[in-house]
Amino acid sequence: MTRVAPASLPSVRVSLGSEVLAAGVRAVLADAALLPPPEGNEADVLIVDDRWLNAPDDLAGAAVVSLGSRAWLALLPDVCPAGWAALPPDATPAELVAAVLGAAAGLSALPPAWLAAPDDDADAPLDGGEVSLTPRERDVLALLAEGLSNKRAARDLGVSESTVKFHVQALYSKLGVQSRAGAVARGFALGLVSV
């Protein structure tokens, strides 16, 4: 097996409230050659827990991996356009390493079980033929599936952020969901979004 040169791997800073969890995360990262940045340098990826939910401005501009609750799903897409991942605290080492590498590459990731939020009515019968989306709503849904924030989606589409918010709300209504993750999950289930 060929290992990637450490210089090409992202540096990672761990900021978790539990020292036990932090030690385990650092051990997993060290095994994958994902090391902290040199003293005085910024890390490429920041690993945080729910303590950071009250300080989203401190995360702006960084690639972030959260180990915590589903509350991150409402926050990360808008705060971390540089890449993000939301994982439960009991994520496997492979999931953690994949999340760090994905976030560092500007991707968004979350566990499949989190695609449908618990308050979404995922059992409501709906098939793709019953949902009629406008071309712009399909564009917005595709950008949501890529993990883009409203601001970034607006820039990519050449429209205002308010216009994107309007389309997102229309998607929630048409798809019968209450969250971005729910819209993406329902879009995948109905064949409205492809991988």
Average pLDDT over residues 180-192: 82
Confidence label for 72 from pLDDT (cuts 50, 70 and 90): confident
Q: What CATH class has 128-189?
A: mainly alpha
Q: Which residue has the tokens 């879009």?
A: 187
Please tell me the distance from the alpha carbon of residue 149 to that of residue 155, in angstroms, as a whole number: 10
Spatial contact of 32 and 97, defined as CB atoms under 8 Å apart: yes
Confidence label for 7 from pLDDT (cuts 50, 70 and 90): low
Per-residue pLDDT for 152 more than 80?
yes
Confidence label for 130 from pLDDT (cuts 50, 70 and 90): low
Per-residue pLDDT for 126 more than 70?
no
- CATH 3.40.50.2300 positions along the chain are 6-114
Please tell me the distance from the alpha carbon of residue 118 to that of residue 128, in angstroms, as a whole number: 22
Q: What per-residue confidence (pLDDT) applies to 116?
A: 54
- CATH 1.10.10.10 positions along the chain are 128-189
Please tell me the distance from the alpha carbon of residue 109 to that of residue 149, in angstroms, as a whole number: 14
CATH of 6-114, one of 3.40.50.2000, 3.30.1490.20, 3.40.50.1860, 3.40.50.2300: 3.40.50.2300
Spatial contact of 67 and 48, defined as CB atoms under 8 Å apart: yes
Spatial contact of 183 and 165, defined as CB atoms under 8 Å apart: no
